[in-house]
Amino acid sequence: MTRILIVDDEETIRLALRKFLRSRGFEVEIAGSGDQALEILDAQSFSLMLCDVRMPGMTGVQVVPQARARDEDIAIIMLTAVNDAATATEVLSAGASDYLMKPVELADLQQAVDRALQKRTELIEKRHLDRLIREEVALRTAELEREKEALRRMSIGIAETLINAMEAKDVYLRGHSQRVAELAGQLAEQLGLDEALCEDLRVAGRLHDVGKIGIREAILNKPDRLTAEEFEHVKQHVRIGLEILQPLFHITQPLKFIEHHHEHWDGAGYPLGLNGEDIPLGARILCAADTFDALTSKRAYREPLEPMAALEHLRVDVGKQFDPRVYDALVRVITRRLASRSAVPAKR
Ligand SMILES: [Fe+2]
Ligand SMILES: [Fe+2]
């Protein structure tokens, strides 16, 4: 049953209104003051409050916001004295739904009550619908995000499979991409990059050399110096790699890093000859990790360098091939690795 609270300091009015509203099928409570009304509102809930404006103690205007604070859905109709347009505006802006002039015509009251209740129902329904829509949108968005992530993982996985197949054929390349990925991720962490960028670097590391699949095997592991023509051919692995990875256009950052992983700090690299900060930081990191791993891996034409010897070797190219800041990070990461390795107790 719809419940209505009547607040008026004049008992005759309270009782008359109650009698009428009860006869219309409402369940009615009454309060003789603002304080009493708030007490009742604390304990019970109502669809509508009919509230006198002028009362001793708390005025009706003061009751409105406090009633609203207790129940944001309650409909509120104020009872004002005739010729009090100012108060009427005031109660509406305080949050009342409507107002009636005293003495109240019962027919007007009936209409105002119906209107206020109707408006209340609509507001509740609208809010409910809003919430449903918001929840649905949030749900769908999360679902889409999950699907996008799954797709991303899958496409990266496919590209990785290709790389593993390629590296498996070549003992000297085996594991290179995985190690570069790990080191590049650690360098990114060392440089304080956020987790998303660190992950982008791991992805870029795993995929950076996929283009080597298009390079003649004899050249990849040629013991002697490459001829100019051969070097031009090797350079193509960047372009070929980007072509292979083109369907992964949504992993924008890793592709950028891969595109520029052979640029040099001094501008002497390829494919564009970018220099300094113009080279994406991720590409500068990838370049250092890539070169370090190449030096510390066995090649057909030479034995692997020890990590410290490789760092020494690379130092010559700081400011030329390498960003000094990235080189510092590399020294820190490798030193830490060696320290943690030597800290492992020897097997008994
Ligand atoms: Fe490369
Ligand atoms: Fe590489």
Closest alpha carbon to 77 in 57, 101, 41, 56:
101
In whole angstroms, give the CA distance from residue 88 to residue 92: 6
Burial 307-330 (b: 16+ CB within 10 A, else e): beebbeebeeebeebbbeebbebb
Contacts 24+ apart (CB under 8 A), 269-277: 269/321, 270/235, 270/238, 271/235, 271/238, 271/239, 276/323
Cβ-based neighbour number of residue 14 at 10 Å: 19
Q: Which residues surround ligand 1, an ion (CB under 5 A)?
A: 209
Q: What is the number of the ligand closest to the CA of 166?
A: 2
Gap from CA of 172 to ligand 1 centroid (Å): 14
- Distances in Å between the Cα of 319 and the Cα atoms of 131, 264, 272 are 57, 9, 18
Closest alpha carbon to 112 in 49, 170, 205, 46:
49
Half-sphere exposure of 245 (CA within 13 A, CB side): 34
Element (H, E) at 40: helix 34-43
Q: What is the number of the ligand closest to the CA of 258?
A: 1
pLDDT at 335: 96
Q: Give pLDDT tens digits along the chain (348 positions).
A: 899 999 999 999 999 999 999 999 999 999 999 999 999 999 999 999 999 999 999 999 999 999 999 999 999 999 987 677 788 888 888 889 999 988 899 999 999 999 999 999 999 999 999 999 999 999 999 999 999 889 888 888 888 888 888 888 887 788 999 999 999 999 999 999 999 999 999 999 999 999 998 888 888 878 788 899 999 999 999 999 999 998 888 889 999 999 999 999 999 999 999 999 999 999 999 999 999 999 999 887 788 999 999 999 999 999 999 999 999 999 999 999 999 887 766 555
Tell me if 167 sits within 8 A of 177, measured CB to CB.
Answer: yes
In whole angstroms, give the CA distance from residue 102 to residue 83: 10
Token pair belonging to 203: 């992805």
Gap from CA of 24 to ligand 1 centroid (Å): 85
Gap from CA of 249 to ligand 2 centroid (Å): 21
Gap from CA of 235 to ligand 1 centroid (Å): 8
Q: What is the number of the ligand closest to the CA of 211?
A: 1
212 annotated active-site: yes
Q: Is the pTM of this model over 0.75?
A: no
Gap from CA of 148 to ligand 1 centroid (Å): 28
Instruction: Provide the 3-class DSSP secondary structure of residue 260.
Output: coil
Gap from CA of 258 to ligand 2 centroid (Å): 10
Gap from CA of 190 to ligand 2 centroid (Å): 21
Find the catalytic residue in 102, 119, 126, 212.
212
Gap from CA of 255 to ligand 1 centroid (Å): 13
Q: What is the number of the ligand closest to the CA of 293?
A: 2
pLDDT at 1: 87
Q: What is the number of the ligand closest to the CA of 241?
A: 1
